[in-house]
Structure 1
Amino acid sequence: MKTADPPRPRTRPKRPGAPGAHRRRALPYLLIAPTMLALSAVLGYPLVKLVLLSFQDMTRKELFAGTDPPWVGFKQYRSIFTDAFFWEVVGRTALFTVVCVGLTMGVAMGVALLMRQVDPWVRVTMAGVLVAVWAMPIMVAAAVFRWLTDTDYGVVNWALGLLPGADFTGHNWFANPWHGFTVIVLVVVWGAVPFATITLHAALTQVPAELEEAARVDGARGWQLFRCVTFPVIKPAFVMVTALMAIWDFGVFNQIWLMRGGQPEKEYYLLGVYSFTESFAVNRYSSGAAIAVITVLLLLVGAVVYLRQLLRMGEVE
């Protein structure tokens, strides 16, 4: 007579407090730790020194002598916040950011939608051109736009002069800040559109074709199809790119500095240019540091809004 095998002990599931569970939870933090340490060393230390400098009064005397500057508390911030010119620069920076981001995202969305409709070889050609523009150094792009808008030999003045009744002979685009910022905005948008376009086109490839086909069967066309079907799918990528563009455009420095030959007038000051000029042109190092700290705090506010948008979209999904 066969005896029944003894019952096998059941394997109990690991409790949350088991050693293996702790290791699994700690693994992501261990993987990201080298990156966080590198960022702390490269960015954290200078940021701490910047904040400390904003509470001091550093002059060339302390800089050359190597002595510690005196502590002045919130004096730099009080001086900045009571300066009308500072708020003028903040408003100009905000307006500049809104215009650049709006134009960039509008053009990038249009080009991405166009790339979706053309033949594959045209799409590959467009992608190659976008990558080439994206790879162009800012110095080269600024030199090209300075040549295009040159007062005496600029192509833009020549082309606009061909219009009936238009005379742009010897027109200086930077004599009027509104005209000058138009050129600077074009430089910024020119360099930002490739990244935004490629990212949005990648997001558009994830839109299910059957979803759009079903919407067309139901009668959706054009703008209605894009607003109700296509855009909700690509919204996370759109929000991410918009936030990145806002952060980059808020801190624009190189384009203005290069387009004005390293000597921008006060009418062309944005927060980045203002901070640099205060520190290294006027030698008010602590004042420039305080402006830089305020700029970082404003960018952090934008980053928090961006993260909240992502979290909300994650909850909805």
Structure 2
Amino acid sequence: MSADGSGRRPTRRRPRLLPYLLIAPTALALLLVLGYPLVDMVVLAFQDMTREQLFSGAAPPWAGLEQFRRVLGDGFFWTVVARTVVFTAVCVALTVLCGLFTARLMHRASPWVRATIAGMLVTVWAMPVMVAASVFRWLFDADYGVVNWLLSRLPGVDLARHNWFTDPWQGFAVIVAVVVWGSLPFAAITLRAALAQVPPELEESAVLDGARPFQVLRHVVLPTIRPVLVMVTTLSAIWDFGVFNQIWLMRGGQPEREYYLLGVYSFIESFAVNRYSAGAAIALVTVVLLLAGSVVHLRQMFRTGEVE
């Protein structure tokens, strides 16, 4: 007899192996592709490799935590960290806001306008970073840039031969535009799919109750698409935190110290200054910070699931 008196023996819950079997190939591929480089980088960060060991093949001496003491004790490193955080926050905010605006526009537009915008977004998404950087370098060129020519036609504005990258604030504004340009399609298309799941009767009821468009967006739409919004925000933060190609290409492969972010700083320390272990230590700190962002993303997703 069972505890409830039904006469049936309690069945044991068998572990559901299907989800693990489905993700096993992806996990194995990631382990093979990323596992060895990550382990090698961790080992290198605790050594002191110079060009002598690199060319001779000799084992570099063990340095322990010396590389981390140098890196974390350097004031310029923390300047780069703060710059990276601010850069990431600005890029993510603009990406999410522009993506949400574009998604709302697509959601309310006619089918042919929606298809046109979607086609343009896919075209931008398919554009390689090198091509996008070349286009923006031409647009903001000091001698032949279209942006300088257009702005100079405004009354009282003279930007002839104006170099946008002389001032780091203006230069980073251009780089932010390149990053947001490349990130916008993912955010807009993903949020558009989320908006399609919002029940129309909820918005109609809010409008009948006297809610204004901004109130409908804040109290009806955003809470409904919150899981997708959190995902887009977190993924954009992780991607923008490790930006390298846009800065490297926009500065012609020779970025000034004022344009260093963590990815650029690690690369310069490793392959320009030949401080390979210091560059590995910076990269490892960057990975730890990105892992912290991933943990925040997972916690937000679990909390959202619990609320639902």
Which position in structure 1 is the counterpart of 2:212? 221
Give the equivalent residue in structure 2 for 1:153. Answer: 144
Please state if 1:15 is matched with 2:11. Answer: yes
Q: Distance in 2 between matches of 1:199 and 1:37?
A: 27
| Among candidates 65, 73, 83, match of residue 74 of structure 2 | 83
Partner of 1:194: 185
Which entry has the higher C-alpha Rg, 1 or 2?
1
Give the CA deviation at 1:163.
1.1
3-state DSSP of counterpart to 2:225:
helix
TM-score by length of 1: 0.93
Q: Secondary structure of 2:183's match?
A: helix
Q: Distance in 1 between matches of 2:9 and 2:245?
A: 58
Say whether 1:301 aligns with 2:292: yes
- 2:110 is aligned to 119
User: What is the distance in 2 between the residues matched to 1:263 and 1:296?
Assistant: 24
What residue identity is the alignment partner of 1:282? V
User: How many Å apart are 1:33 and its aligned residue?
Assistant: 1.8
Q: Post-superposition shift, 1:308?
A: 1.0
Instruction: Indicate whether 1:50 and 2:46 are aligned.
Output: no
**Taking every aligned residue pair, what percent have the same amino acid on both sides?**
66
Tell me: CA distance 1:228–1:47, structure 2 relative to 1, closer, same or farther (3 Å): same
Partner of 1:285: 276
Equivalences for residues 1-317 of structure 1 within 5 A: 12=8, 15-16=11-12, 21-22=14-15, 25-317=16-308
CA deviations 1:151-176 (Å, max 9, x no partner) are: 11100111110111111011011111
CA distance in 1, matches of 2:73, 2:55: 30
Q: What amino acid does structure 2 have at the position aligned with 1:89? A: V
How many Å apart are 1:306 and its aligned residue?
Answer: 1.2
Could you tell me how far 1:101 is from its partner in structure 2?
0.5
Q: Structure 2: 5+ residue runs without aligned partners?
A: 1-5
Distance in 2, matches of 1:40 and 1:107, equals: 35
For normalisation by structure 2, the TM-score amounts to 0.96
CA-based RMSD of the aligned residues comes to 1.3
Letter in 2 for 1:15: T
Measured after TM superposition, the shift of residue 30 of structure 1 is 2.4
Distance in 2 of aligned mates of 1:145 and 1:14: 67
- Separation in 2, partners of 1:31, 1:165: 63
Q: Which runs of 5+ in 1 are unaligned?
A: 1-9
In structure 2, what residue type is equivalent to 1:313?
T
Structure 2 letter corresponding to 1:237: V
Residue type at the aligned position of 1:280: F
Aligned length: 303
Report the CA distance between 1:265 and its aligned residue.
0.5
1:264 to 1:221, Cα distance in 2 relative to 1, 3 A: same
